Amino acid sequence: MGTPKLTPEMCQAAVDALAKHGNQVAAARAMGLSRSALQHRLAEAANPPRDPEVVVEPLTSRERFDAAFWRKKAVEAQRAANEAEHVADLVTIWRCKRGVSMMSVVTGGKVHDFELTRRRLSFILQEAARELTRDE
C-alpha cells in the first residue's frame, strides 16, 4: 500500500497545527505524524501543485544565460545608482612606483584609498569627464 495522496485540506491542517502549537515537533505530535511527514505537508502547502492546463517548458541554456546576464546588469545598475547618490568631498590622485597610481576619495568624513593601474585610472577619469560634460 502506497502513501496516500495529500489533499489541500491535509496540508492546511498542518499549517494550522504549526500556527497553534508554535513548533514542528509539537504540531506533528498533536496530529499523530512524524516531524518529517509534517514538514512534507508544510512544503506541499507552500508549493501547491500547478494547474495541469499550464505547461511550463524548461529554459534553454541560451535563455538561462540571458537571464543571468540581465540579472547581473540589473544588479550593476542598482549599485551604480546607489553609488551615484554618494558624492565625494575630495579626490586626490598621485603617482606611485611600478606604474601604479594611488587615488584617495574622501566622502562622509571617511578616506578610501585605491591602488590603480594607469589604464584603470585613465578609464575612471574618462568616465568622470563624460559624466561631468553630459549634463552641460
74-96 pLDDT tens trace: 777 767 666 665 556 666 776 66
Q: Which range among 30-39, 44-53, 73-82 has the greatest average pLDDT?
A: 30-39
Provide the pLDDT confidence category of residue 11 given band limits of 50, 70 and 90. confident
- Per-residue pLDDT band for 29 (boundaries 50, 70, 90) equals very high
Q: Is the distance from CB of 45 to CB of 12 less than 8 angstroms?
A: yes
**Residues facing residue 90 across a β-bridge:** 106
Q: How far apart are CA 41 and CA 28, in angstroms?
A: 10
- Is residue 30 pLDDT above 90, yes or no? yes
User: Closest Cα partner for 41 from 27, 55, 53, 52?
Assistant: 27
Using CA atoms, how far apart are residues 107 and 90, in angstroms rounded to an integer? 7
For the chain, domain boundaries: 8-46, 85-136
Q: Per-residue pLDDT tens for 86-124?
A: 556 666 776 666 777 777 777 666 777 777 777 777 777
